[in-house]
Amino acid sequence: MRFTPSPSLRLCVATSLLICALCPAQQPAGKSKGIGNLDPAMGGKPQAGANVQWHDATQWGVEGRILPQAERKRWFDRLPASAEGKVTPAVWSLSRDSAGMVLRFRTNSPALHVHYKVNKANLGMPHMPATGVSGVDFYARDNNGQWKWVQVTRPGTQEVRAEVIRDLAPGEREYAAYLPLYNGVEFLKIGVEKGSSFEGLAPREKPILFYGTSITHGACASRPGMVHTAILGRRLDRPVVNLGFSGNGRMDQAVGEFIAQVDAACIVVDCLPNMQPSAVREKCVPLVRQLRAAHPKTPIILVEDRRFTNDWITPAKAKFHSDNHAALREAYDILKKEGVGDLDYIEGDHLYGDDTEGATDASHASDLGFMRQADIFEPVLRKALQGR
């Protein structure tokens, strides 16, 4: 018996084949197929060539690790090895992502290359691209000293050895390379054309330290440089430590123990998205007391949680945010009555804007949402940092 497919079945098969052609499996950089052949700008970056001088990042240091001289299980871990067993297993595991880390260097190379390997095979997420999860994002200072974007890697495999960009304008300039947000780094080298100058720039001191949730961690930025913590670091020209722990930013005093050891210019506590009002009432005041005991004059900023961008149509979620905000305000008032100084507060209602367009999934920020958060944080941070 001969089978004759119906017109609808033929259409379904044809559509499936087209989708497979346009959405191939991850390919090594420079060997992407499908859409990359139709539009080269959508493909991977070309492989680094032979005329490259490589510089190992461990030889000059990275910003974004707390206690830089502490022993680490992996060089690019955010927390020292001593944190394992003190913080929760989830926080320890998440701390091994390189979120917020920045390499700074100076070169006159006409091209930039990078060679690195990430720890996890999952390079992207359903709602966050591989460029944000596992990419390395390059910025440079222009002739006026302002940070401007240059290029980001497009990882297709765990090990990336790629030409980032070429045909750069002549001249020596300072660069910053932001490391992957939701992946750990095993090793990383910066490559410049042979014969070019190169200087690795040492990490700066007195960072702004952010303690928070998946949003602080970087979900769901398209590139590592687009998280609000990174945006603020560039705007304020300050080093940043990102202690965002996805789903696990809960004002834990075990984390506070390590924060208290950092000589920070300012500490931002932004944990409410992972907390219930009862936990806020229980944990906020003790955490601030703990940090204030270690650093009597360091500014501390408490941040309300953002509202889900669809809470206008989900009343239970809207009530949760309002209750959470009220709990944090109560804690803030208690601390102020105790005479805790250098304590500021950021309201959460407008962190993503007022048009419902600032998130990828109602909860986690898009690049637009991160930019809007930075706009609200910036004046509070500038005031807190005056003279510091």
pLDDT of residue 9: 40
Specify whether 216 is located in the same domain as 355. Answer: yes
pLDDT of residue 205: 95
- 3-state SS of the chain: helix, strand, coil percent to 5? 30, 20, 45
pLDDT of residue 40: 66
Q: Is residue 88 part of a domain?
A: no
Specify whether 185 is located in the same domain as 215. Answer: no
Specify whether 126 is located in the same domain as 267. Answer: no
DSSP state of 379: H
Specify whether 242 is located in the same domain as 377. Answer: yes
Specify whether 190 is located in the same domain as 218. Answer: no
* Dihedral (Cα; 3, 8, 13, 16), 10-degree rounding: -160
Specify whether 376 is located in the same domain as 276. Answer: yes
Q: Is residue 177 part of a domain?
A: yes
pLDDT of residue 70: 87
pLDDT above 80 for 229: yes
pLDDT above 80 for 237: yes
pLDDT above 50 for 21: no
Confidence band, pLDDT 50/70/90 cuts, at residue 68? confident
Q: Which of 201, 226, 244 is the last residue of a domain?
A: 201
pLDDT of residue 271: 98
Q: Is residue 7 part of a domain?
A: no
The owner of tokens 């979120």 is 99
pLDDT of residue 387: 81
The angle, 0 to 180 degrees and rounded to 10, between the axes of the packed helices 367-385 and 228-236 is 40
CA pseudo-torsion sign 52, 54, 60, 65: positive
DSSP state of 127: T
How does pLDDT run across 163-208, given as a tens digit for each residue?
A: 999 999 999 999 999 999 999 999 999 999 999 999 999 999 999 9
The count of structural domains within the chain is: 2
Specify whether 230 is located in the same domain as 359. Answer: yes
Specify whether 260 is located in the same domain as 369. Answer: yes
Specify whether 123 is located in the same domain as 268. Answer: no
Specify whether 359 is located in the same domain as 251. Answer: yes
Specify whether 285 is located in the same domain as 140. Answer: no
Closest by CA to 241, choosing from 204, 291, 275, 202, is: 204
Q: Is residue 40 part of a domain?
A: no
Report the chain's mean pLDDT, rounded to a whole number. Answer: 91
H-assigned helices in the chain: 7-22, 35-38, 89-94, 130-134, 214-217, 228-236, 253-259, 277-294, 315-337, 367-385
Non-local CB neighbours of 341 within 8 Å, separated by 6+ positions: 297
Specify whether 212 is located in the same domain as 195. Answer: no
Of residues 142 and 18, which shows the higher confidence score?
A: 142
CATH code (residue 160): 2.60.120.260
Nearest 5°: phi and psi at 275?
A: -130, 155
pLDDT above 90 for 35: no
Q: Is residue 23 part of a domain?
A: no
Q: Which of 148, 175, 201 is the last residue of a domain?
A: 201
Q: Which of 168, 201, 234 is the last residue of a domain?
A: 201
Q: Is residue 365 part of a domain?
A: yes
Round to whole Å and give the CA distance between 373 and 309.
14
**Residue 169 identity (one-letter amino acid):** A
**Rounded percentage of the chain residues whose pLDDT exceeds 70:** 89
pLDDT of residue 44: 74
> Rounded to 5 degrees, what angle do the CA atoms 64, 381, 97 make?
20
Q: Is residue 262 part of a domain?
A: yes
Q: Is residue 43 part of a domain?
A: no
CATH code (residue 236): 3.40.50.1110
Domain hosting 292: range is 208-385
Confidence band, pLDDT 50/70/90 cuts, at residue 20? very low
